[in-house]
Amino acid sequence: MISEHGMASLLRVRLRAAAVVFLSVITVAGAHGSCARAEDPVTSKEKPKLPQVTVTLGPLTILVDVANTDRSRTEGLLGWKDITEDRGMLLDFGVEREYAIHMQGMKFPIDAVWIDSAGEIKMIHHDIRPNSGLIYHSLFPCAYCLEIKAGVCRKYGIRIGHKVRFDAVAD
C-alpha cells in the first residue's frame, strides 16, 4: 500500500512527465509550423550549422554540436543516421533547472549525461533506446544534456560527480 506522501510524490512525477510531453509537442509543433520565431530566424527546411565545442569527460574528448535554440534542441539528433564515440550533441538550455528528453524518432541508442552549470555530472541515463515512449528526466537542476553514443560512459568510467570541461574549437 502506498502512503499518502508516496502517492503525492508519484502524482507529481506523473504530472511533470505529462507536462514535459505536452511542452515537447507544443515545441515540435512550433519548430515545424509555418510561423517564424524571433529566436530562430531560419524558416527554410535547411538546418543551420550549429556551433561546436569539445567536451572532455575523464579520458575522453569529443567534438559536439551545440543545440542552443528551441528549434535545435527540439530537433537534437533526429537528423543523424548514427553516432560515433568521438561525436555528440550538447543541449544547452541556458538556464539551470530540471529538464527532460525523449527518444521518439531516433535511429540509435545514446547515453544522456546531465550536467549542471558548474560542469558537474548530476545524472546519467545509460543506453537509452530509440522510440521507447519514455521521458528521461535530469532529476536535478542542470544547464546541459550531453547526448553521446550508448555505452561510452561505462566504457570510459564516466560517473555522476565527475567534472566536464568545455573548450572552444580552433578554426
Domain-embedded: residue 4: no
Domain-embedded: residue 115: yes
Residue 15 and residue 165: Cα distance in Å, rounded?
34
Contact 80, 110 (CB under 8 A): no
Domain-embedded: residue 163: yes
Domain-embedded: residue 3: no
> E strand or H helix at 149, and its extent?
strand 142-149
Question: For the domain that residue 99 is a member of, what is the CATH number?
Answer: 2.60.120.1140
Domain-embedded: residue 39: no
Residue 92 and residue 73: Cα distance in Å, rounded?
8
Q: Give the count of beta carbons closer than 10 Å to the beta carbon of residue 109.
A: 16
Q: Report helix, strand or coil for 140.
A: coil
The count of structural domains within the chain is 1
Domain-embedded: residue 88: yes
Domain-embedded: residue 97: yes
Q: Mean pLDDT over residues 150-168, rounded?
A: 96
Instruction: Express each pLDDT in 31-72 by its tens digit.
Output: 333 223 334 444 445 666 899 999 999 999 999 999 999 999
